[in-house]
């Protein structure tokens, strides 16, 4: 079993309110990814296998990091949060927030309704998302050598839920905390993967780069 380093994509289109419009990096997102790629090379990080989801923001992040040859796996794609939020609004009248602070309460509400099957006709069920995340990460960990996985915050949060037995409120708090191009590591301990690193941004720690420590 090999360890996995998870990377959240760079800053995307922060003004978007749907899945398609969100799915591209901002200029800052490209810069964050380039800085991370430089940092990993300077620290001689060894990742003979690199994976991304198939979303544009995943591929652009990997490209800007210097990994244009990454293996693309749709199981590493993000949950469709905008779609779920729109369905919940249409079906139950729970309005989508217009400011970041509103998402602190909105995210666990969406996740809870999704888990409990209270959102009709979702793109996938909560349980299906959890299963594909688990299956993909276990398959990658079974391969030879450490792996780098460029993905999204929701998937990283679900991985933490899976390996730390987090309930939905904690899952939501974890998802809200994850920064763009943050580094997370799952390491084999016994016959299980265990989180040993969460939300690290060493490439953004210099005072001149603090402005680039973004969540959205």
Residues 114-154: tens digit of each pLDDT: 999 999 999 999 999 999 999 999 999 999 999 999 999 99
> Which parts of the chain register pLDDT below 70?
16-17
Instruction: Give residue-wise pLDDT tens across range 159-176.
Output: 999 999 999 999 999 999
**pLDDT at res. 16:** 65
The CATH code belonging to domain 4-212 is 3.40.50.1240
Predicted local distance difference test score (pLDDT) of residue 37: 97
Phi, psi torsion values for 41, nearest 5 degrees? -70, -40
What are the residue ranges spanned by the domains of the chain?
4-212
C-alpha distances (whole Å) from 41 to each of 63, 141, 201, 215 are 14, 22, 15, 24
Q: Which residues contact 104 (CB under 8 A, 6 or more apart)?
A: 176
- Beta strands 147-151 and 49-52 are parallel
Q: How many residues does the chain have?
A: 216
Single out the residue of 5, 73, 86 nearest to residue 43, CA to CA. Answer: 5
């Amino acid at each position: 079993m090999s360890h996995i380093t998870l990377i959240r994509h760079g800053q995307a289109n922060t003004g978007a309110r749907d899945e398609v419009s969100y799915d591209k990096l901002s200029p800052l997102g490209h810069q964050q990814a380039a800085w991370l790629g430089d940092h990993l090379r300077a620290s001689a990080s060894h990742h003979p296998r690199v994976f991304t989801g198939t979303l544009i923001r995943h591929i652009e992040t990997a490209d800007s990091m210097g990994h244009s040859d990454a293996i693309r796996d749709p199981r590493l794609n993000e949950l469709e949060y905008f779609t779920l939020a729109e369905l919940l609004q249409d079906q139950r009248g729970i309005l989508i927030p217009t400011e970041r602070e509103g998402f602190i309460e909105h995210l666990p509400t969406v996740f809870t309704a999704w888990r409990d099957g209270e959102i009709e006709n979702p793109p996938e069920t909560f349980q299906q998302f959890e299963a594909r995340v688990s299956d993909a990460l276990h398959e990658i960990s079974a391969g030879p050598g450490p792996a780098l996985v460029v993905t999204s915050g929701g998937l990283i949060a679900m991985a933490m839920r899976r390996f730390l037995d987090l309930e939905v409120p904690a899952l939501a708090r974890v998802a809200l905390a994850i920064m763009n191009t943050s580094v997370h590591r799952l390491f084999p301990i016994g016959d299980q993967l265990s989180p040993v690193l969460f939300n690290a941004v060493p490439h953004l720690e210099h005072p001149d780069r603090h402005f680039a420590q973004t969540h959205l």
